[in-house]
Amino acid sequence: MNNLEVRTAIRNAGLYQWQVGEYLGLSESAVCRKLRKELTNEERERFLTAIRELEEKQWLKRQKAKRDNY
């Protein structure tokens, strides 16, 4: 399957491909093209690390917003 793990991680993190691309310095279309074929292990780890980091940033933003509302 074409990069199912990466696609699922993006979806589960509540992110869009353009957000991951922007974080990695790629356009949305470049991300789509890369995901058409299997990524190398290094590329796959790069994508998954970016997704984890973006997900953490979103979580921290939500926590800050909650604190600010109290």
Torsion sign across C-alpha atoms 11, 33, 27, 47: positive
Residue 69 has pLDDT above 80, yes or no: no
pLDDT at 55: 94
Topology of domain 4-69, per CATH? 434 Repressor (Amino-terminal Domain) (1.10.260)
The tens digit of pLDDT for each residue in 22-64 reads 999 999 999 999 999 999 999 999 999 999 999 999 888 878 8
Task: For the chain, give every domain's residue range.
Answer: 4-69
pTM of the model: 0.84
Which band of pLDDT confidence, cut at 50, 70 and 90, is reported for residue 68? confident
* Phi-psi sector, 16: left (phi>0), alpha (psi -120 to 50), beta: beta
